[in-house]
Structure 1
């Protein structure tokens, strides 16, 4: 079970400014009707600085911010018809709200093959504008039916 990706794979850091409209769109897409994602006054009454992000919103930051599906396909030489989302984990270390700008530093954690499946795990550290850690995201991509070249 050796690595299938060169150790020197570098993913570009990116920045993203969180917008109220994107939070609203995301909440609507996942069917979350909690008013804190739609109304800044309600969010502030609940103790937030502004409209907070839903718990799984970092996936949207990655896709809109620079680590989209096409980039991953190209970077790792994946067959898009065989790719599955294998898992996702978020660790929050701070609050993220509309108006915040985060800088993301993605890094390849591991890549291996097992039972004709290729597993690629990517970790992303997010910092706020003050340079403080606010979030860590880790995702696993699975490519099924992998054939050695």
Structure 2
């Protein structure tokens, strides 16, 4: 797909996916980022802090997207962008409910904004996608927004 106007990407939807939240992956991420809070691997510690199960660390949704979603190459092809010219611009997380080990997340994703900026060093496209995460009960528990920068 070749896009002549980056604004034409707005509304583009990606294939939905479903991914379980695994206790082992939560612990792996916590260890990888150096967070030794016992709520990320000890159920009793998590319950003592008011969780129904072992909660996810704040950036865990990246794990869900990495293992359950579309790969970078495939996503850039769908967007009509060259991967070698893409930078990660911004990421935000909005949590609307708890996500714990054992939950199964269903994810929908679409492009919600796209624009071209021009400056003294050239132009770049800014493409923002939004993911919505629903648990096995159909409850919307999180929304993420990711902006990529595509240099011309």
Give TM-score scaled by structure 1 length.
Answer: 0.88
Counterpart for residue 21 of structure 2: 18
Give the 5 Å matches for 1:48-127: 48-115=51-118, 116-127=123-134
Does the 8 Å CA contact 2:40/2:46 hold for their aligned counterparts?
yes
Counterpart for residue 138 of structure 2: 131
RMSD: 1.6
Counterpart for residue 43 of structure 2: 40
Gap runs ≥5 in structure 2: none
Could you tell me how far 1:109 is from its partner in structure 2? 0.5
Does the 8 Å CA contact 1:18/1:101 hold for their aligned counterparts?
yes
Could you tell me how far 1:78 is from its partner in structure 2? 2.4
Give TM-score scaled by structure 2 length.
Answer: 0.86
Residues 1:7 and 1:86: Cα distance change in structure 2 (over 3 Å): closer
Q: Which structure carries more strand by proportion?
A: 2
Gap runs ≥5 in structure 1: none
How far apart in 1 are the matches of 2:8 and 2:36? 41
Three-state SS of the structure 1 residue aligned to 2:13 is coil
Does the 8 Å CA contact 2:6/2:114 hold for their aligned counterparts?
yes
Does the 8 Å CA contact 2:11/2:112 hold for their aligned counterparts?
no
How far apart in 1 are the matches of 2:96 and 2:62? 16
Could you list the per-position Cα deviations for residues 69-112 of structure 1 after superposition, in whole angstroms to 9, with x for gaps in the alignment? 22322211322222111111111110000000111110110222
